[in-house]
Chains A and B, each alone.
Chain A
Amino acid sequence: MNSKRPVFRHPDLPKNNLGYTRRDYEGLDSTLCAGCGHDSISNSIIQACFELSIEPHRVAKLSGIGCSSKTPAYFLGRSHGFNSVHGRMPSVATGANMANKDLLYIGVSGDGDTASIGMGQFVHVARRNLNMVYIVMNNGCYGLTKGQDSATADKGSSSRKGQPNPFEAIDLCEMAVQLGASFVARGFSGDKEQLVPLLKAAIGHKGFALVDVISPCVTFNNTQTSTKSYHWIRDHMEATATVDFIPQQKEITAQYEQGATQSVSLHDGSAIHLHKSDNSFDVTKKRVAVNALEHHREKGQILTGILHVNETLKDTHDILETTDKPLNTLTKKELCPGNQTLQKIFENYR
């Protein structure tokens, strides 16, 4: 981008419960390619945080390396941030989360950062069900190094280079379901109407929330032959359900047709409402999610929406039974309770 974004905004910008406008959630000007799907995801994150009236200083943004991992600079400019090592965002997120469980952790990663170099890290953070939102900006190529096929590129799909990808693709959503992630969803950068509620639900969820967002790379992977292009996704996209995220303070007034709606209550009293076209799809069942993903893949379709939620799974802190107070707030007095307490502990082992 050549020009600086003007400082002026629409004078009628709405305000949220905190009195902030969307502008208070913006970041720096994007330096990504024109038309990059990642910019739409950044804006959806801004929109979701604005709508949920999240205090910017209660958020930590974490990322690895890649086009996707640059984006935390472009949203939530007043939040904490850590741009970490390639593929190592989950470790940093785990450390930060262990130290202060009170913040909202938004991890941003790409298909390379997650499905290639960071696969080992991704697998374990999902398995431990760390309380965070893990967003994958998935464009099926390595845009920062001129568009080589990534591990999520579909077999047979070819990017601007024209060579079909000979390898099988990794489906991060299916993996996450199997690994025990408690919230798994897939969105599309070109459909904010779906993406914003997905992100809001992921933020409301306690536990590991993976949002795999297909985000076309306009420069290298938006060809007629690519399965990660705008037109391909639009032609082959199927949604599990329309998602409504109902924050806890809001009374539920909308009425939906019986049977077609599934509600999932979240730990804090908020709820996710799913208005489904196929009533047999139960988001709380792991097997249903895996089946549906496989079924759509066979048909050549891309299944989007919330794929799996399990509110009964414990997150890392609950599994480890850590203190209620964030560890970084514990003082020397609590951490070193003194000789008397030590003697008492020894007594237990005698």
Chain B
Amino acid sequence: MKPTDIKDSEYFHRVIDCQFACPAHTPVPEYIRLIAEKRYADAYMINWESNVFPGILGRVCDRPCEPACRRDRVEEKAVAICRLKRVCADNKGDVKSRMPGPSTQKNGKKIALIGGGPASLTVARDLLRLGYSIDLYDDQPEAGGFVRSQVPSFRLPKKVLDEEVNAILSMGVNAHLNTYIPSMKDFLAKGHDAVFVGTGAPRGRDLDLPGRQAAKDFVHVGIEWLAGVQYGHTKKTGKTTLVIGGGNTAMDCCRTARRLGGKQVKVIIRGTRENMKASPWEIEDAIREDIPILEHLSPIEFIMKGTQLKGINFKKQQSDKADQEIVFIPCDEVLLAVGQQNAFPWIETDIGITFDDQGRPRVDELTFQSGLGHVFFGGDAAFGPRNVITAVAHGHEAAVSIDLFCNGKELKKRPLPFTTLAGQKMGLHDWMYNSQVSDEMRQKVPMVPKVKSIKDRLLEVELGFNPKVGLKESLRCLNCDIQTVFAVKECIECDACVDVCPTTCINFLKNGEEEDLRSRLLIPAKNKTQPLYVSDTLPTGRVMVKDEDLCLHCGLCAERCPTAAWDMQKYTYNPSKAGQR
């Protein structure tokens, strides 16, 4: 293999598993270290800069970082990154003074944002700082989009949501709420320099089955029903409620139904529990609230008795049987959570924005630009339903594009990320980070007792880590951003690093092709998603090969190295934001 080019900005980025997996590339280990130092406000601001909604995401994030966490491969469980984010949001104190106020210097450009969800708010935050004027349009009375209308308050209290949404609005957004845009063509006539569409994937899919029409008073589309609950229009549900679908919306529906008087709430899925789309922790929470999940059932008919819904007939999905059994499950209310669709009835087809057969706009995956040059899409509106953190990442990229566009620059030439590599040595064997690897297991998040939380849909179920538990959990972080940097010229091949490495990552051997090298390591490197760090040729003709997979970043190789050929250096990686280049 060729020697690894550590100057390539993506190499060490990839080693920081959590940051690499995060769509917004939040520098996770950096803020976790600050939590350990009780610098909650500093940790919050790092998050705010990167993911804009730390308090919200600290509760409802889809956490792509956690399955990626190295700790998950080293022992059993990932660092509770999401809950640590909440720790810094809960304990940050007043950070208003650290937020940018309304921008005074305007650059004369006007940008319109349609839809007031996380993607649009991110664009607003990034562009306001640069002096753009922002007009935000939303058909709801308050900004926030999906996180406001569909995420139940027992998971995300209104106070937290308001604080972070208002932080952006108060930077000088001209918010036009309760304003539905009926025609894109007319809207474009307003003459904005650029338009960003972040209207989400607002339409829940329906189930067109026999009896659906007759049962319309008892059957609701999940996301619409959740919005009704959030805005106080829906106050109770049937005693026996069935939720059809296995995604996170289904989990929100069933748990909300429990709080609105649903004594028996069941979730019905076509497949198996292992294949459910919902996050494992959300499934756990639903089961904890006595909600059974029935597998292998697909609905075929709504059964009425007079004007009342009696139940639903399901077909038992068993692949090995030809004639499938029909199962009747009684119920008096049904919530459908079988997916969301994009819907743009308000965008005319003759103005230059084109759509694919699924009704999604054709959008450039890098620039988020649509067929119409000054119109950009982001969040769920662009590529279908994903999650909040992805919407934020889209917002950042779209803001970069809009800024390039307004300055007449090439959109495909993206500004490079900001990276630094800084030595961490303090004394002979002393590092600027806590290199000691904690052997604590993942801390449990305390919850409000079930009996109490079921009674009140506004009561947040999770209590979050207190600072003491948060400290324990934060010390579990392996500091994957502190890189092991190898200087081939200094190495005397004494093997000290090989001997001390607790996870047998370091090898000295004859070079070969990647496949061959992977198989010849002291412990073969089977995890191909993790790179090998290969040095230049050493005096004995061998090369140093480090399998990055299970490196604990404990710094022992550097401590035991007599010639400082190994050094621990902190790698910072920040994707470029709009206006930074």
Contacts and interface: CB of A to CB of B under 8 A. Distances in A.
Chains A and B come from one and the same complex: yes
A216 B496 CA distance: 12
Interface string B535-574: 0000110000000001010111001111100000000000
Contact of A8 (B75, B495, B563): B75
Given A34-B496, A34-B560, A37-B494, A14 B437 contact: no
Interface in A31-74: 33-37, 39-40, 42-43
B561 A5 contact: no
B503 A1 contact: no
Nearest to B438: A6
Contact of A12 (B436, B499, B523): B523
B429 to A, nearest CB: 4
Secondary structure call for the A interface: loop
Contacts of A219: 562
B437 A34 contact: no
Contacts of A43: 495, 498-499
Contacts of A35: 492, 494, 496, 560-563
Contact of A1 (B73, B550, B559): B559
Given A3-B559, A8-B74, A35-B562, A189 B500 contact: no
A36 B502 contact: no
Which one of A6, A7, A230, A234 has the greatest number of beta carbons of chain B within 10 Å?
A: A6
A13 interface: yes
B555 A42 contact: no
Contacts of B500: 1, 5, 30, 39
Given A13-B504, A35-B562, A234-B539, A8 B496 contact: no
A101 interface: no
A36 B500 CA distance: 12
A218 B562 contact: yes
A192 B496 CA distance: 12
Interface in B55-74: 73-74
B460 interface: no
Interface string A1-27: 111111111111110000000000000
A230 to B, nearest CB: 5
B526 interface: yes
A325 B136 CA distance: 93
Nearest to A1: B559
B562 A33 contact: yes
Of the four ranges (under 10, 10 to 19, 20 to 34, 35 or more), the interface on chain A belongs to 20 to 34
Nearest to A6: B437
Interface in A213-231: 216, 218-219, 222, 230-231
Nearest to B429: A2
A234 B494 CA distance: 11
A10 B503 contact: yes
Interface residues of B, number: 36
Which one of B439, B504, B560 has the greatest number of beta carbons of chain A within 10 Å?
A: B560
Nearest to A29: B500
A234 B503 contact: no
A9 B504 contact: yes
Nearest to A33: B562
A190 interface: yes
B430 interface: yes
Contact of B439 (A7, A34, A230): A7
Interface in A52-110: none
A10 B550 contact: yes
Nearest to B552: A6
B139 interface: no
B435 to A, nearest CB: 5
Nearest to B547: A10
Interface in B71-125: 73-75
A168 to B, nearest CB: 28
A40 B498 CA distance: 9
Contacts of B493: 190, 230, 234
B560 A1 contact: yes
A2 B427 CA distance: 11
A40 B556 contact: no
Given A3-B435, A40-B495, A34 B523 contact: no
Contacts, number: 104
B524 interface: yes
Contacts of B559: 1-3, 34
B208 to A, nearest CB: 49
Nearest to A230: B492
A36 B539 CA distance: 19
Contacts of A37: 494
A4 B429 CA distance: 12
Contacts of A230: 492-494
Contacts of B75: 8
A36 B552 CA distance: 23
Contact of A3 (B540, B550, B555): B555
A163 B439 CA distance: 49
A37 B492 CA distance: 11
Interface string B292-309: 000000000000000000
Contact of B495 (A5, A11, A192): A192
B503 A40 contact: no
Contacts of A189: 494-495
A42 B499 contact: yes
Contacts of A2: 429-430, 559
B527 to A, nearest CB: 10
B439 A6 contact: yes
Interface string B426-444: 0001100001110100000
A40 B504 contact: no
Contacts of B504: 9-10, 13
A39 to B, nearest CB: 5
Contacts of B523: 10, 12-14
A73 B538 CA distance: 32
Interface in B411-449: 429-430, 435-437, 439
Given A35-B561, A35-B562, A8 B552 contact: yes
A9 B502 contact: yes
A14 to B, nearest CB: 7
Given A6-B502, A8-B75, A39 B439 contact: no
Contacts of A12: 523-524, 526
Contacts of A34: 496, 559-562
A231 B563 CA distance: 14
Contacts of B498: 43
Given A3-B559, A234-B540, A9 B496 contact: no
A8 B77 CA distance: 13
Contacts of A42: 499
A40 B73 CA distance: 28
Which one of B493, B498, B502, B526 has the greatest number of beta carbons of chain A within 10 Å?
A: B502
Nearest to A46: B499
Nearest to A12: B523
A3 B554 contact: yes
A77 to B, nearest CB: 15
Interface of B: 73-75, 429-430, 435-437, 439, 492-496, 498-500, 502-505, 523-524, 526, 539-540, 550, 552, 554-556, 559-563
Interface of A: 1-14, 30, 33-37, 39-40, 42-43, 189-190, 192, 216, 218-219, 222, 230-231, 234
Given A6-B439, A9-B502, A34-B562, 12 more contacts: A1-B429, A3-B429, A3-B559, A5-B500, A6-B554, A10-B503, A12-B524, A35-B563, A39-B495, A39-B496, A40-B499, A218-B492
28 contacts: A1-B556, A3-B435, A3-B554, A5-B554, A6-B436, A6-B502, A6-B554, A7-B502, A8-B437, A8-B502, A8-B503, A10-B505, A10-B523, A11-B73, A12-B524, A34-B496, A34-B559, A34-B560, A35-B560, A37-B494, A190-B493, A218-B492, A218-B494, A230-B492, A230-B494, A231-B539, A234-B539, A234-B540
Nearest 6 Cβ contacts at the A-B interface: A35-B562, A6-B437, A2-B429, A218-B562, A43-B499, A35-B494
